[in-house]
A and B are shown apart, each in its own frame.
Chain A
């Protein structure tokens, strides 16, 4: 496991994808916190490159070849969260830098509750972490050997 950020430093969106691709990561997981309720698991809204005969993968479409495994992983994470009685949904999103990541990639947005207290509701952090890690472990066979 490699953390892109270990402190409060800003890394550009393109650079995040570059680091992930350079590492040849199997899975990229972006974690976000926001106001509202529930947990949402996002996959890219990438479109296939416009020309079928492209030999090099365009930067904007790097996720194309991994979209199916990303969707599979997102669905599995949502199912795991629901088992833990956490309200969760899977949605596609035009989210950067998911489109540029050449690996299975999801983003998990965890809500801080209706009144933004800047702290996650009790137990939610543990539930999200265990759901994501358990899913990656369990889904290894379903998604493929790259995991």
Chain B
């Protein structure tokens, strides 16, 4: 026979377990409701509008010390700065193919593109783009020429381009070619002809 005081103690314990279970379930529901409520007021960015286009990219070939046009498909948003970013990324993607015609460091990418007025573009690249870039006047010059020419071929009206590395100015790409100046796209167009 179970003594009476033990029966009372077990009953109280079971009641406490039941009570805390109900409390936990209510607390969980309350938190879920709060999260849903907060999510309803989060600003939602609409997906960029645009379409897949057939574009031309100027690709550097180290072995031939030449730049040649290639054709590729890329999804290009209608917003001009996003379009510029995707065009540059399409050019960079050529260098991650195997075998690469002009190897770049893993993680070399375009973070953002800013438009100043209608004709000036500032390109912010990842740190790896510059930190891991092979050093050499020709190699550095071919990279910048490839990117600027691809940009102007697919985003009309750009007259000047400047590069940043991880949001900051840097003296050179990999020890030689200038990153402080704004590049004239007309001058780069003339330079590109020398490599064709």
A: residues with CB less than 8 A from B are 13, 32, 34-36, 38, 40, 42, 45, 47, 60, 91-96, 99, 107, 109
- 27 A-B pairs, CB-CB below 8 angstroms? A13-B171, A13-B172, A32-B137, A34-B135, A34-B136, A34-B137, A34-B138, A36-B138, A47-B184, A60-B181, A91-B138, A91-B141, A91-B194, A93-B141, A93-B176, A94-B181, A95-B137, A95-B178, A96-B171, A96-B176, A96-B177, A96-B178, A99-B178, A99-B181, A107-B137, A109-B136, A109-B137
Selected from A45, A47, A60, A109, the residue in CB contact (under 8 A) with B138 is A109
The B interface is mostly helix, strand or loop, or mixed, namely: mixed
Selected from B62, B134, B138, B183, the residue in CB contact (under 8 A) with A94 is B183
B interface residues, how many (CB within 8 angstroms): 22
Q: Which residues of B contact A13 (CB under 8 A)?
A: 171-172
Q: Count chain A CB atoms within 10 A of each CB in B136, B171, B187 and give the residue with the most.
A: B136
Q: In the complex the two chains form, what is the Cα distance from A32 to B172 in whole Å?
A: 15
Check B159 for interface membership: any CB of A closer than 8 A. Answer: no
Shortest beta-carbon distance from B116 to chain A in Å: 16
B: residues with CB less than 8 A from A are 62, 65, 134-139, 141, 144, 171-172, 176-178, 180-181, 183-184, 187, 191, 194
Q: Which residues of B contact A107 (CB under 8 A)?
A: 137
Q: Is the CB of A94 within 8 A of B177?
A: yes
Smallest Cβ-Cβ distance to A114: which chain B residue: B63
Q: Which residues of B contact A36 (CB under 8 A)?
A: 62, 65, 136, 138-139
Q: Which residues of B contact A93 (CB under 8 A)?
A: 137, 141, 176-177
Q: Count chain A CB atoms within 10 A of each CB in B65, B135, B139, B176 and give the residue with the most.
A: B176
Q: Is the CB of A42 within 8 A of B137?
A: yes
Q: Is the CB of B187 within 8 A of A47?
A: yes
Q: Which residues of A contact B194 (CB under 8 A)?
A: 91-92
Shortest beta-carbon distance from A20 to chain B in Å: 17
